Amino acid sequence: MGRKPHRHRLALTLTLGMLVPGVASAERQDSLPLYKMLRSLEFVQDSVVAGDSSAGEMQRFLLATIDERLRTADKSVFEDGRNVDAALIYAMSGGNPQTLEYLMSRDVNGNFDNRVADVLRKYLNGKGLLVVNTLADIAKEYRGKPIGSYLSLVAGNVMSGKNPKAALQLYDWARLMAPGTIVEESALRRSLALCADAGMVPAGLDYARRYTRRFLHSPYASQFADLFVQLVVDHDSDIKQQDIVDILSFMDPPRQREIYLRMARRAAIAGKADLAALAASRAQAITNDGGDAFGALANFYGGVAGISTPELKSAINDLDQMPAGELNARDRALRDAAKVVAHEILRAPEPASLGQANVPNLPNQQNTEHDAAVTNRAGGQSPGTAGVEQGASASAAPAPEGGRQEADPSFNAFVTTSRSKLDAIDGLLKQESH
């Protein structure tokens, strides 16, 4: 937790070194200790999640520079434990996994903890589940040490697929040891993802509040927005409207509007008309930046949601007012699917389908129950399954001569047409979801 003051001083030193040749010559890049270079990387990464978009290029440069230094460093460099930690943190910060393999192959003096190196190599090669418990134990052992927060984050990533609650505890430890850093940003985001998937609503709302207060300008905030919308839409019955308003109140109006629009869209697709209408109205109420494009988009999502409500005609009007050219491919697919559904709802039934004579004869209910009971007694099948199995076999077999009459051809055509249109709707929604 005390690394930030050092980073600020280092950043100032490096900046002065770039501007003043005398300083640069005093501490050239090739003589800068590895652990100091790593601190520079951490500082830059923390700046990225704090909203400094210009730091991204510097991050890539530092990763490449540190990689080269690690591969060319003398073995004696790693007699300093700070440089060992730097190498491990580099590997957990997006560095080249092969570099860790290279360093371990040259570690004849045992400067690296083989347990840590081994679990990290498996994690970086996609085999973390093989060592998930060992990784969690090592993370606990290294709490309070420079690599502790990174190990807790990595252990949480692996544990999330096995035990979400245990993973949340590991993420909490990572945040505790590295507040305000890229480690905390990642831990909060992944904690919210776990809560959204597992339905842990109170905890998920708490993580969302923390994220919006600290990392609203992170380049990963868009991913957070999707996770928050997922939590709200999937578990809307457990979330109060005021909770949503309070969390989004930390955002500026454009970001709030974007979240509400995403919420309206996802709720409309999920068939949650009330939530979709609420989110659309909130998006419309937020002050615009000069145009009515966002208001039209909110109306559009509200229209999609209204297809399944008594306000069908008004919903169709909202859909028609949104030009297809102003929608992206996904929303055009959504619009087409909504229109097909609306058309099917409003379409008058075929006259032939209303005639009693054209409806196929239905078996007598009493006879059906009697036949099922006889089958149960004869075949020894358990109640609740015999009737289903018997019904399935009877429907699959051709009707005997002199038995019930076949369905009218017009009725069969109606069923076939309806099924094909439903398949078309499913296809559009499937295309939209991708």
- H helices of 20-131, in order, are 21-26, 34-49, 55-72, 81-92, 97-105, 114-124
Full pLDDT tens readout for the chain, 434 residues? 445 444 444 443 443 344 334 334 334 556 789 999 999 999 999 999 999 988 989 999 999 999 999 999 999 999 999 999 999 999 999 999 999 999 999 999 999 999 999 999 999 999 999 999 999 999 999 999 999 999 999 999 999 999 999 999 999 999 999 999 999 999 999 999 999 999 999 999 999 999 999 999 999 999 999 999 999 999 999 999 999 999 999 999 889 988 998 898 888 888 787 888 888 888 888 855 545 556 666 666 665 655 555 555 555 665 656 555 556 566 666 665 665 555 555 566 666 555 554 545 544 444 444 444 444 444 444 333 333 333 333 344 444 444 444 555 554 555 555 556 556 555 655 555 55
In this structure, which amino acid lies at residue 334?
A: L
pTM (2 decimals)? Answer: 0.69
Could you tell me how many helices (H) and strands (E) the chain has, helices first?
23, 0
Other CB atoms closer than 10 Å to residue 225's CB: what's the count? 20
Dist. CA 299–CA 281, nearest whole Å: 8
Do 99 and 70 meet the contact criterion of CB atoms below 8 Å apart?
Answer: yes
Cα 201–Cα 159–Cα 134 angle in degrees, nearest 5: 150
Dist. CA 93–CA 89, nearest whole Å: 6
At 100, list the tokens: 């860790």
Distance, CA of 434 to chain centre: 13
Residue 322 DSSP class: S
Do 149 and 136 meet the contact criterion of CB atoms below 8 Å apart?
Answer: no
User: Coil, strand, or helix at residue 397?
Assistant: coil
- H helices of 270-364, in order, are 273-285, 293-306, 312-321, 329-346, 351-354
Dist. CA 281–CA 402, nearest whole Å: 61
Identify which of 297, 236, 288 has the alpha carbon closest to the alpha carbon of residue 265.
Answer: 297
Dist. CA 405–CA 362, nearest whole Å: 9
Dist. CA 304–CA 317, nearest whole Å: 10
User: Coil, strand, or helix at residue 406?
Assistant: coil
Dist. CA 126–CA 161, nearest whole Å: 13
Place of tokens 């909770």: 243
Instruction: Work out the widest C-alpha separation in the chain, in whole angstroms.
Output: 106
